[in-house]
Structure 1
Amino acid sequence: ILDSIAQGRHPAEAVLKAWGQQNRYAGSKDRRAIADRVYLVLRARGRLSWIMGGREDGRALVIGSLSALDGLPLDQIEALHSGDGYGPRPLSKQERFRIMAGAGDLPGWVAAGLPEFVVEDFKATFGDSWTEEARALMQPRAPIDLRVNTARVFVEAVAAELAEAGLSPTRAPWSPVGLRLPAEPPPNVQALDAFKDGRIEIQDEGSQVVCALASAAPGMTVVDYCAGGGGKTLGLAGAMQGQGRLVASDVVQKRIDNIRPRLVRAGVEAELRVVGPNGGGMEDLNDAADLVFVDAPCSGSGTWRRRPEDAWRLTAEEVARLHALQVRILGQAARLVRPGGRLAYVTC
């Protein structure tokens, strides 16, 4: 599973789901244990690779995790790698040596859990507290944030409903329409009636807050220029209260198609458009929008707690490519803003 994640671009969650579907013999507890191990390894990937002499294959990372994260002594790790039955093959001499040698003195980027090339930016941004910021970004498991569809229900009513279902919701610190569930045990939100009926959506509080700050309002013409999966489209629609014109666009047809059922479930409407790579297909909205909301393609560093695999896929070259793309998108989106209108630019 770890090798598949490293070699591809799919989210770890999707790779785990596909593995479970292809290996039905694994029960729910087994799948849960495997998922926990995968995410544990991904969050500590830099440290584990360092301990294992620079190896980045799944086997090495798991062996390193048994020693560094679980604190198992060498003899117990060897017992788990007996090669008997379906067990993994015995440890090599090099693997034994790496476990016995331990971590040693870790470079700052390894200890912080960051890709090496981003460290200087972190130091420049956060100063002496950069390692604490890095650990907070990478290591804790992210809570589950929910956005309440206040067109259908009050936040307090949803909180009570979730509590009756055995969950432990709290109010989100900043979003007035947000609720937060602890990451452990992981809740199956999509199985809840409140989700199926469109009364809640899974959405990080940061996304909820930027929708509020964009200040969409009833009667406006609003464009969600890089709509993606449509989460912020729903947030903007809620602020507009069914009055005005909301246009959601993206360059990928599949993303647009995925928004449709979410709109229906939430009971809101939006025009959906596929645009060309140079912004074609939006000319009728030039100088017409009160608000253009641009959630630009980016490094995704703000989501690394939830998707730690993305930290290790990012390269300096990819950051440069994304910067050039963002500049182009910003110029395209700016053409749609009416004089005196607002252009809201967001990255995570």
Structure 2
Amino acid sequence: MTPAARLSAAASILDSLAQGRQPAEVVLKEWGRANRYAGSGDRRAIADRVYRVIRARARLVWAMGGREDGRALVIGSLALIDGMPLEEIEALHSGDGYGPKPLSKQERARITAPEGQPPGWIASGLPEFVVEDFKATFGDRWAEEAEALMSPRAPSDLRVNGAKTSEDAAEAELREAGLSPERTPWSVWGLRLAAEPPPNVQALEGFKAGRFEIQDEGSQMVCWLSGGGLDLSGAVVVDYCAGGGGKTLGLAQQGVGTLIAADISMKRLDAIRPRLERAGVDAELRLLGADGEGVEDLVGGADLVLVDAPCSGSGTWRRRPEDAWRLKADEVERLHKLQLAILGRAAALVKPGGRLVYVTCSMLTGENEKTADAFEAAHQDFRPVAVGDALGNPAFSDAAREHLARFAKGHRLRLSPATSGTDGFFAALYERAG
């Protein structure tokens, strides 16, 4: 493909992203399958352009006079991101072959003489309503948090399955496969692959045999925090919003007595089965009804209930930056109400003296502190459990205990790319009064 044809392809992919809800990674793969003539170099160049545009979207929309179509964003990226002079941009927009049509008078004017200065929030790479939330939450550190969250440098973390191998053995196995794993700083079962692009871990024999799983270190720490300070050997543990099952497996690694993974989607539960089989984990799967039906026999009987609630996923925007521009403020409010309802239903399963853990992979106050505040106000029988009381879990490194104690606020904890090098997570710990 010519450079000009790559620009046309990137613009088309950006338009497809704007019209749907699929992740950019999926849209790019589908485009590649449908356009077999594009070589690996072409696909890499197109993907790089797409992601660079997504991460600078606010700035580019402003520069192009409010236009949000793929063509305008690509043109803006050539000028503002690449620093390409006008004559070179025009040469790429000659209209020849599969290249984009010539620049209009308005497009030429936007990239040569932008009007005024962009609003201050635009440089963050986040939607305006999210910037306001960050300022209220992080104060003077908000820009640092925003930059780290939208950074393209997100590592690939693995959790070693201690029931099947040791971390030393898993590290050696990965090195024999030509990779360069490093120990994660906080989870003693974590290995980090910093390769770019990320390696195809699922093709490795160790993954197929269940010796390691893909799981961000922040997600691992949430699992260790959930079980920290508890004897789970004979416990009834419920992963209430099991999703893909990553945290189910993390809970299992702590020697759980009876493990139950529950979710409202049978499709998601079915996807957990092969993961359980690979890992050698025995867990019961429960399909939840719209109002939490399906676990009535567990009411008041669970020692630990983890609620990894549906959320915006804003803590993972460095991996999926397109989701930042799909999220609206009213969606955060809808999610808050849903989270509160789910948390209330899950709380009913906890026995006196048992633990309830609320988790999101969100960076937004409306899904984190606001939901925790509302739950606490409505459930006086649940008292806070200090994060420090859960740090004795041997799956935490000594450095993790010091780090988490520093950032914990009583029974609540925030993890973020800027502070911990992980995806963004929020956790709140409770115990039901006896």
Give the direction of change, closer, same or farther, for the CA distance of 1:213–1:103 in structure 2 (3 Å limit).
farther
Q: How do 1:160-239 residues align onto structure 2 when only pairs under 5 Å count?
A: 160-215=172-227, 217-239=232-254
The residue number in structure 2 matching 1:26 is 38
The answer to whether the 8 Å contact 1:275/1:282 transfers is yes
Does the alignment pair 1:6 with 2:15?
A: no
The residue number in structure 1 matching 2:388 is none
Aligned residue for 2:164, secondary structure, equals coil
Report the Cα distance in structure 1 between the residues aligned to 2:16 and 2:56, rounded to whole angstroms.
Answer: 17
Query: How far has the Cα of 1:219 moved from its partner?
Result: 2.0
Query: How far has the Cα of 1:165 moved from its partner?
Result: 2.3
The residue number in structure 2 matching 1:270 is 283
Report the Cα distance in structure 2 between the residues aligned to 1:25 and 1:12, rounded to whole angstroms.
Answer: 20
Q: How do 1:49-68 residues align onto structure 2 when only pairs under 5 Å count?
A: 49-68=61-80
The residue number in structure 2 matching 1:129 is 141
Decide which moves more: 106-115 or 176-185.
Answer: 176-185
The answer to whether the 8 Å contact 1:169/1:181 transfers is yes
Residues 235-263 of structure 1: per-residue CA shift (max 9 Å, x gap): 111122xx511111111111111111111
Aligned-residue identity in percent: 73
Residue 260 of structure 2, aligned match among 244, 247, 255: 247
In structure 1, give the amino acid aligned to 2:308: D
In structure 2, give the amino acid aligned to 1:249: A
Report the Cα distance in structure 2 between the residues aligned to 1:235 and 1:65, rounded to whole angstroms.
Answer: 41
The answer to whether the 8 Å contact 1:45/1:113 transfers is yes
Residue 334 of structure 1, aligned match among 347, 352, 376: 347
Report the Cα distance in structure 2 between the residues aligned to 1:39 and 1:320, rounded to whole angstroms.
Answer: 28
Query: How far has the Cα of 1:120 moved from its partner?
Result: 1.8
Does the alignment pair 1:346 with 2:359?
A: yes
Report the Cα distance in structure 1 between the residues aligned to 2:311 and 2:68, rounded to whole angstroms.
Answer: 25
Report the Cα distance in structure 2 between the residues aligned to 1:235 and 1:164, rounded to whole angstroms.
Answer: 26
Give the direction of change, closer, same or farther, for the CA distance of 1:36–1:180 in structure 2 (3 Å limit).
same
The answer to whether the 8 Å contact 1:289/1:337 transfers is yes
Decide which moves more: 324-333 or 150-159.
Answer: 150-159
Decide which moves more: 270-279 or 94-103.
Answer: 94-103
Report the Cα distance in structure 2 between the residues aligned to 1:128 and 1:244, rounded to whole angstroms.
Answer: 45
C-alpha RMSD of matched pairs (Å): 1.5
The residue number in structure 1 matching 2:410 is none
Q: Which runs of 5+ in 2 are unaligned?
A: 1-12, 362-434
Residues 278-316 of structure 1: per-residue CA shift (max 9 Å, x gap): 101110110111100000011211111111011111111
The answer to whether the 8 Å contact 2:259/2:284 transfers is yes
Give the direction of change, closer, same or farther, for the CA distance of 1:154–1:173 in structure 2 (3 Å limit).
same
Query: How far has the Cα of 1:317 moved from its partner?
Result: 0.4
Aligned residue for 1:281, secondary structure, equals coil
The answer to whether the 8 Å contact 1:226/1:294 transfers is yes
In structure 1, give the amino acid aligned to 2:169: A
The answer to whether the 8 Å contact 1:142/1:183 transfers is no
Decide which moves more: 199-208 or 98-107.
Answer: 98-107
The residue number in structure 1 matching 2:307 is 294
The residue number in structure 2 matching 1:119 is 131
In structure 2, give the amino acid aligned to 1:26: A
Report the Cα distance in structure 2 between the residues aligned to 1:150 and 1:193, rounded to whole angstroms.
Answer: 16
Report the Cα distance in structure 2 between the residues aligned to 1:98 and 1:208, rounded to whole angstroms.
Answer: 47
Aligned structure 1 segments of 4 or more residues deviating by more than 6 angstroms: none
The residue number in structure 1 matching 2:171 is 159
The answer to whether the 8 Å contact 1:51/1:64 transfers is yes
Aligned residue for 1:239, secondary structure, equals coil
The answer to whether the 8 Å contact 1:224/1:249 transfers is yes
Aligned residue for 2:22, secondary structure, equals coil
The answer to whether the 8 Å contact 2:152/2:319 transfers is no
The answer to whether the 8 Å contact 2:304/2:355 transfers is yes
Report the Cα distance in structure 1 between the residues aligned to 2:323 and 2:148, rounded to whole angstroms.
Answer: 16
In structure 1, give the amino acid aligned to 2:154: A
In structure 1, give the amino acid aligned to 2:289: G
Query: How far has the Cα of 1:152 moved from its partner?
Result: 0.8
Report the Cα distance in structure 2 between the residues aligned to 1:191 and 1:98, rounded to whole angstroms.
Answer: 46
The residue number in structure 1 matching 2:53 is 41
